[in-house]
Amino acid sequence: MSKEFFPQRPESHPMIYAYSDNNPQYQGLLKVSYTEKDVEKRVAQQYPAFTDHDVHQVLRQKSISEIVYG
């Protein structure tokens, strides 16, 4: 009977990355982070994109109706 003392780890590719934030309070600073995921996917999680549909919804909630929604 074979015993496995050191099980295989899932494949991962740890990354350390840096980026600047456009928020004025962080002007001139770099954010340094660590991830085991794809860097672009991780940054997208931190700064989720929004669509024009999201903007339209907020405008409707504010009763702004003079804008043509397309």
Q: Across residues 2-17, what is the average pLDDT?
A: 80
pTM value is 0.51
Q: Residue type at 60? A: R
Asked if residue 41 is part of any domain, the answer here is yes
Return all residues near 35 (Cβ < 8 A) that are at least 6 apart: 14, 15, 17, 42
pLDDT at 70 exceeding the cut of 60: no
Q: How many separate domains does the chain show?
A: 1
Residue with the bigger pLDDT between 65 and 35: it is 35
Asked if residue 67 is part of any domain, the answer here is no
CA 23 to chain centre: 15
Domain that holds residue 28: 15-61
